Amino acid sequence: MINILFTNFCILVTFLYVSGLLSRQYVTGFDSPSRSVKLCGGVLFGIYGIILMYYSFPIDPRFFADLRHLAIIVIASYLGWLPSLIAGLLMAVGRVLLFGMTGYSAVAGAGMLVIGMICGLISLARWDRLTKMMTMSIASMLVLFFVIASNIPDRDKVFSVFTQHLIISLLATLVIYMLTEYIHTSNKLFLQLKKYAETDYLTSLNNLRQFEQLLSERFLEAQHFSERLGVLMIDIDHFKKINDTYGHAAGDAVLQQLSKVLKDNARSFDEVSRNGGEEFSVLVPEATIAETTALAERIRAAVERHAFTLDDGTKLHITISIGVAVHPDTIRSREARQLMEQADQELYRAKNNGRNRVCSAPEIHDYMLS
């Protein structure tokens, strides 16, 4: 019995490691996971439990021992009642599918469903995670005690099996808690570092490194699928004067508010970045030079109308200059850098022509893209 339960524990640890890698790749918010994440988590850990059942062993012709309930405990502790219920339901169905539809299978399956419900309820308590997991483990074993007792008439055997199972379950729960907390903390730190590496600290927009990465990726996609990609290079007019007159804190406030204006007036799938200082950029996929220029003009006008409020209540009005280039409408570039450089040249032209304007590169009229 102990050998099989240890094997169950090792299998579950492997599952947790794989789940940790998946959550790092696909889960964007650990503290407030989406409903789809909860649904997928419930299904995944339900499958884990079914696999653990496959490696169970018969204590009696009517009862099989394993640690499947730990899969429910883990998912309930981290994702709440919904995935706990889903996992319990899947394990109940899996019990019948693996071992056939008998009265004993029905009792064992019902036990897993009850465990899913109980762990889901405990997950709602405002306790620390270790207390929740240990309470869930004890509650699950109490349910399993009644399942064992209903299937095995020998009471001495029931108590002997239950005692060993309970001790191993509690020890495994403690070790799994330490492992899952390590994985959980590591993934949160990984996401934080990833965010810091890709995001501008002041505006929460993409930073220069992320802009260059996105530009390269989107440019390759545009080339591969024969699509358009536009670039807006944006610069605040006379930004140094704002810093000199009102201070750097005022300049930071302007940058933060400008980032919101840019996001609000760009399309939902456009990618806005702060490239450094007072320079911003927008990647505009799937738009002609005329459409991209119209978008740039809309952004410019929105900034001109917007009243920027400083910490002391002072209101400012600023203007921006924008350079526009579109592949392949204005440049048949082979590299993303050439497209960005053309947009930069148009930005400088806007600056030299009086600022507060949009300048677009001339369209190549002998090139048509449907």
Examine residue 278 and state whether it is found in any structural domain, yes or no: yes
Give the tens place of pLDDT for each residue, 243-283.
Answer: 999 999 999 999 999 999 999 999 999 999 999 999 999 99
Nearest one of 278, 287, 283 to 321, comparing CA atoms: 278
CB atoms within 10 A of CB 14: 11
The pLDDT confidence band at residue 288, using thresholds 50, 70 and 90, is very high
| 58-76 mean pLDDT | 78
Residues 260 and 118 placed together within one structural domain of the fold = no
Residues 116 and 238 placed together within one structural domain of the fold = no
Residues 215 and 84 placed together within one structural domain of the fold = no
Residues 68 and 185 placed together within one structural domain of the fold = yes
Q: Tell whether the model's pLDDT for residue 62 goes beyond 90.
A: no
Residues 182 and 304 placed together within one structural domain of the fold = no
Whole-number pLDDT of residue 28: 46
Active site residue 279: no
The DSSP code for 361 is: P
Q: Tell whether the model's pLDDT for residue 52 goes beyond 50.
A: yes
Q: Which one from 227, 271, 278, 297 is the annotated catalytic residue? A: 278
Contact 82, 104 (CB under 8 A): no
Distance CA 101, CA 106 (A): 7
**How distant, in Å, are the alpha carbons of 34, 37, 39, 80, 224 from that of 28?**
9, 10, 15, 17, 29
Whole-number pLDDT of residue 53: 81
Range of the domain at 77: 2-198
| 342-350 mean pLDDT | 97
pTM: 0.64
Q: Tell whether the model's pLDDT for residue 9 goes beyond 80.
A: no
Residues 242 and 337 placed together within one structural domain of the fold = yes
Residues 115 and 157 placed together within one structural domain of the fold = yes
Residues 187 and 212 placed together within one structural domain of the fold = no
Distance CA 153, CA 155 (A): 6
CATH no. for residue 228? 3.30.70.270
Examine residue 368 and state whether it is found in any structural domain, yes or no: no
**Number of structural domains found in the chain:** 2
Give the tens place of pLDDT for each residue, 201-238.
Answer: 999 999 999 999 999 999 999 999 999 999 999 999 99
